Structure 1
């Protein structure tokens, strides 16, 4: 029950914050928002596990800070930016298009990768970077396939089925 409650809170807060941001969004002018947000995410994601469990988990505190404070700010900054060249526009469109399929497909592969690490007693980056890179690119490729084969056709079908009724 603790995991269910924790999972529900982890999902409800970002969803609620996303709804709040989408309804009350006031953009600011941010030059290079995509690259700024990318750099901040890279730094945040490279922070290793933070030891400490008594009286609080420092790693949990770090994750909560990221989810409650940093990620909403990054969404706001990212949504405030405009792309200024063709390459940035293409990159942003591609990443936006695969974001939902990637969110769906990465989870089982992440746990398969973890199981492989534990089974083979591999604990350092130098021992695993090749496989980690393969898993990374596999997930992007699979997300793109899911986007083209499932996500876009289903969205098109749903739009034709339900949005056309509103206009009649």
Structure 2
């Protein structure tokens, strides 16, 4: 079993909370959307940590895809159902086409985006954050089909090419820009993992704290760099440095901080997957009960705390039990050179 980096759990939890506050509280976390880019860099690092040696050692690609399905799908179901309930609640106040709602729910369940999108449209209208899960699956396929076996030089060339594409793309070409962001972050994460294996990085005292503060600072700062591709490239570069320091300094984290850091990492995915539809219901009450921005943000912050608590309940009562069940059910099919291989459902 691969090592679990508790500091990376902490960063992932902070990123999930940052995205939630960006969506829930007006102008409180102006750059919270950049947390998604941190997710992609972390994903590249953790996927390479969990699977690179296994894939090179003979783990079947089908086993990799099955393990990733087990990791992602349970919360996709929960997020889709909650999105459907929010869509039905919206339908009662603003009647529309139920067939469209049904098609959006079906697309959400199987991560099939709305490809023909106009200005302001979402790839997944019932749960808008699912766009990143869609591209997470895409980059996972690219990783298992090609990237894991590439040497460092090939990976570096891929990073340079994607960086150039990201910088040159116009933000109006939205689908390609989102894809470029996912590729750039994920490729850099894999590169950081390989660097961390080959180079001896010195642990930094309180490195975990500096890394956490760095992520908070990035998400809280107003950003106006244009074109946006340069912003994503610079931010990803900083995130890479933060992850290197975090991984090297992981064992320096005080033992009393380990438990809640792991908990934040555990709830990060459920929180990310359910916060949008849950806050829709909260907002119905908040908008009626508040009369100014300060009161709205205070109420939204309280609702956000409740959503974090709800994410913990969903994690323990549904996400983890379902993943464990599916892992046990499919274990005979996860093989490396003829031997059973456990699915890394925590990756």
Could you say if the C-alpha distance between residues 142 and 44 of structure 1 is closer, same or farther in structure 2, counting changes exceeding 3 Å? same
Match of 1:148 in 2: 316
Match of 1:41 in 2: 215
Alignment partner of 1:75 out of 232, 243, 246: 243
Q: How far is the alpha carbon of 1:90 from its aligned partner?
A: 1.1
* Structure 2 residue 178 is matched with structure 1 residue 10: no
Report if the CA contact (8 A) 1:83-1:89 is conserved: no
Q: How far is the alpha carbon of 1:93 from its aligned partner?
A: 0.9
Q: How far is the alpha carbon of 1:103 from its aligned partner?
A: 2.4
Could you say if the C-alpha distance between residues 75 and 104 of structure 1 is closer, same or farther in structure 2, counting changes exceeding 3 Å? farther
TM-score (norm 1): 0.72
Count matched residues.
161
Q: How far is the alpha carbon of 1:118 from its aligned partner?
A: 9.8
Distance in 2 between residues matched to 1:158 and 1:116, nearest whole Å: 38
Match of 2:296 in 1: 128
Could you say if the C-alpha distance between residues 89 and 140 of structure 1 is closer, same or farther in structure 2, counting changes exceeding 3 Å? same
Gaps of 5+ in 1: none
Could you say if the C-alpha distance between residues 49 and 70 of structure 1 is closer, same or farther in structure 2, counting changes exceeding 3 Å? closer
Could you say if the C-alpha distance between residues 89 and 13 of structure 1 is closer, same or farther in structure 2, counting changes exceeding 3 Å? same
Distance in 1 between residues matched to 2:325 and 2:237, nearest whole Å: 37
Q: How far is the alpha carbon of 1:69 from its aligned partner?
A: 0.9
Q: Secondary structure at the match of 2:196?
A: coil
- Higher alpha-carbon deviation: 71-80 or 88-97: 71-80
Match of 1:96 in 2: 265
Q: Secondary structure at the match of 1:25?
A: helix
- Higher alpha-carbon deviation: 34-43 or 9-18: 9-18
Alignment partner of 1:138 out of 306, 312, 331: 306
CA deviation vs aligned residue, 1:83-123 (integer Å, no higher than 9, x gap): 5433211121111111222222234467888999999xx88
Compare relative contact order (CA 8 Å, sep 6+) and give the higher one, 1 or 2: 2
Alignment partner of 2:274 out of 102, 105, 128: 105
Q: How far is the alpha carbon of 1:36 from its aligned partner?
A: 0.8
Question: Cα RMSD between the aligned structures?
Answer: 3.5
Distance in 2 between residues matched to 1:113 and 1:11, nearest whole Å: 30
Report if the CA contact (8 A) 2:287-2:296 is conserved: no
Report if the CA contact (8 A) 2:270-2:311 is conserved: yes
